[in-house]
Structure 1
Amino acid sequence: MLLNNKIIIFFAIIIIAIILRKIFAKTILQGLLKLTSKTKTNVDTEIVKAAEKPLKMFLIVFGFYLAFRSLELPQNYNLTLTQVLRSCIIILIAWGLINFSKTISELMLKTMNKCEVQIEGIFVPFISKGIKILIIVLATSIVADEWGFDVNGFIAGLGIGGLAFALAAKDTIANIFGGLVLTMDKPFSIGDWICTPNLEGTVEEISFRSTKVRTFAHAIVHVPNSTLVNQPITNWSRMGKRRITFNLGVEYSTSITKLRNCVAEIKDMLVNNKDIHKDTIFVTFDKFNNSSLDIFIYCFTVTTNWGEFLEAKQDVNINILDILEKNGVSVAFPSRTLYMKSE
């Protein structure tokens, strides 16, 4: 009769725990979510969501613990039950922290950005995974210690295993650290036109293993990050202006007056051209070349867009031709004078 009563109490406690779990889910948790939704930050909402499933499971685990304790088992069984409860609590806490790990990583990024340490969003999954691994390792070591296992040996084994893994995956690790360097230094962003000794194109994607670049032939090239960080990178998209520079050769028969007029008018044309940057404009008679008198022209366009740059350069070239034509000056071309000696 006594045993039957104990069994009834055992199942009654479990049923009560299940009922409490449903009440907790429908009333307390829903109330907390409504309350946190009214606050200015979403961190408290994320905390409640992260703890929701572990708390529900805790009610069931604690219900089973109380149910087994009601059976008045021998002392050694009660000690084992206590160990099981502690282990379950550790696992449930780890579960909640893992659920909250993404929010933790996002908060870390926001804090670093507020401190003017700009970091790309691809750090979120990386930091989140790192936090998850750390939580799992810590929870495993605590549970192992609870059951009397040698934690020091476990940690030493992790160290040796980590070393072996690092040696086996050194290229992958190099690419990951390369991705970290690229993300923190920001030599380029998605959409930038970059040029390296081996590649030129537009960046389409930056991941931890590689960077995806679309070449001007519309081919996709996946470049390992460890390769990119060890190469000089020219970012053409971050130019403040584009350069126009060339030598204009005119014939040696050009008079000094015409030459001076051409230099002055070309410079005046560039200064008054809306597409030319006013800070740096050089137009000078530069040198006596083999077949020409060279006028050195050096300036920058306001635009950095390739198409607009070509139009601005074309406009400059046409205006220079107009100036030469107006002054009666001809463009020189490579020539050689041959003297024939008659006998």
Structure 2
Amino acid sequence: MPTTEVNTTELNATQSLNVIDDLSMNLEGTVQTLLVPVYEKFPFLHNTFLDIPLANLFAAIVVFLLFLLFRKLFTLIVIGTLQKISKVTETYYDDKVISALKGPIRFAFILIGAHLFFLLIFKETEFIKNVLNTLVVYTVFWAIISVMESLRSVFHHATEKFNPDLAKEMGNFILKIAKILVGAVGLGAMLQVWGINVTALVASLGLGGLAFALAAKDTASNMFGSFALLADKSIRIGEWIKVGGVEGTVEDIGMRTTKIRSFEKALITVPNQIVSNSPIENFSRRGVRRIKMQIGLTYGTSRDQVDAIVKEIRAMLHGHEKISQKETLLVNFESFGDSSLNIFIYTFTDTSNWERYLNIREDIHLKIMKIVEENGASFAFPSRSIYIEQTPDKNVL
């Protein structure tokens, strides 16, 4: 019975990916055909420069420059026309997609021109072809990722159906995962251009899987931290928080880190595992903001004056339209200080906005000053009195 010998090496071989030849549409053959009568009419063009026939060198330069011109004309005419048409439509997604594709399409013209240039000068080696094919694959996945980025609001609308409060954060998170997956596929395609067996490469990574897992332990912790932040709804983009000694406004909640813009305008990047495992002070969600102060009156203030001042301050705060009447409101003669009679004031504004809070606090201060002045009292300041019981006899010296 005849046996068939199978070449396992051929089965395991990976075929290189070649896409640049299809993009040129055999233009180099057409150009080379047109050069035949040129060589016949001008024999001196058979001369070579760096082993390149002069006619082919000139033709290669002209073709490359023509593709640069086509690139500019395509941008001005085709892309410009599409952008004008897209402005007439009701949706704005088409505007964003066209703008996103503008860069990759312009770069594709350069790649095709470079491919024809090397073909016409007979210098397109296997290495150069692989480089060009890699750049073509890169351009394709660049276009895909750019389109995904331009449709970011689509991800926000999709996640809004599941959780309106965290639509933006979840949409950004899903978009990042999708972009990573697309990027991984693109990397695999670029490796295939060079004849690398991606399946075998991934399988071989299993040998170092333990080492990789240990190295990626912190990354995994940060990813799970981001899941916890989204699930707990503890912070959102745009909120003012303080966590791990860092205070500022949340700018982005990523897969690995959370970016916080401090009030000094510095961008602070905090790993998500630290954010998720640390106490978070979310100032944006408190709704009110506390005013806590102690004012001191001089010891020359009478009992009736202190009583009147306390009552008038309390009445002023109860009647103030910017003071929250639902929260604790305390005004009391608290203590006899070293150099003052201390009145304790504790209340809350009806806003957590810092600027409005400062304006309300300023108004409260001015009203307290007016109450103290109208009652004939004055504020104390740190002082010390020295009492001399007996002066020394002038003869004792």
Aligned residue in 2 for 1:124: 174
Q: Give the Cα–Cα distance (whole angstroms) in 2 for the partners of residues 332 and 194 of structure 1.
A: 37
Q: How far apart are 1:199 and its partner, in Å? A: 1.4
TM-score normalised over the length of structure 1: 0.57
Aligned residue in 2 for 1:306: 354
1:132-169 CA distances to partner (integer Å, 9 max, x unpaired)? Answer: 9xxxxxxxxxxxxxxxxxxxxxx998876543321121
Q: Give the Cα–Cα distance (whole angstroms) in 2 for the partners of residues 290 and 189 of structure 1.
A: 47
1:302-336 CA distances to partner (integer Å, 9 max, x unpaired)? Answer: 12111111110011010011111110011111111
Native 8 Å contact 2:166 2:230 kept in 1 = no
Q: How far apart are 1:225 and its partner, in Å? A: 1.1
1:49-72 CA distances to partner (integer Å, 9 max, x unpaired)? Answer: xxxxxxxxxxxxxxxxxxxxxxxx
Q: Give the Cα–Cα distance (whole angstroms) in 2 for the partners of residues 258 and 156 of structure 1.
A: 86
Cα distance change of structure 1 residues 310 and 109 upon mapping to structure 2, 3 Å threshold: closer
Q: Which amino acid aligns with 1:319?
A: K
Q: 2:336 aligns with which of 279, 288, 293?
A: 288
Q: How far apart are 1:209 and its partner, in Å? A: 1.0
Pairs within 5 Å for 1:1-343: 113=163, 120-125=170-175, 162-279=209-326, 280-340=328-388, 341-343=390-392
Native 8 Å contact 1:120 1:184 kept in 2 = no
Aligned residue in 2 for 1:38: none
Q: How far apart are 1:236 and its partner, in Å? A: 1.2
Native 8 Å contact 2:166 2:233 kept in 1 = no
Q: Which amino acid aligns with 1:261?
A: A
Identity of aligned residues (%): 44
Q: Give the Cα–Cα distance (whole angstroms) in 2 for the partners of residues 202 and 312 of structure 1.
A: 23
Q: Which amino acid aligns with 2:311?
A: A
Q: Give the Cα–Cα distance (whole angstroms) in 2 for the partners of residues 216 and 117 of structure 1.
A: 24
Judge which range, 222-231 or 325-334, deviates more. 222-231
Aligned residues: 224
Cα distance change of structure 1 residues 210 and 269 upon mapping to structure 2, 3 Å threshold: same
Q: Which amino acid aligns with 1:285?
A: F
1:81-125 CA distances to partner (integer Å, 9 max, x unpaired)? Answer: xxxxxxxxxxxxxxxxxxxxxxxx9999678549x9987223424
TM-score normalised over the length of structure 2: 0.49
Cα distance change of structure 1 residues 110 and 262 upon mapping to structure 2, 3 Å threshold: closer
Q: Give the Cα–Cα distance (whole angstroms) in 1 for the partners of residues 220 and 209 of structure 2.
A: 12
Native 8 Å contact 1:176 1:208 kept in 2 = yes
Native 8 Å contact 2:166 2:236 kept in 1 = no
Native 8 Å contact 1:271 1:278 kept in 2 = yes
Q: Which amino acid aligns with 2:315?
A: D
Q: How far apart are 1:171 and its partner, in Å? A: 1.6
Q: Give the Cα–Cα distance (whole angstroms) in 2 for the partners of residues 197 and 173 of structure 1.
A: 20
Q: Give the Cα–Cα distance (whole angstroms) in 1 for the partners of residues 370 and 356 of structure 2.
A: 21
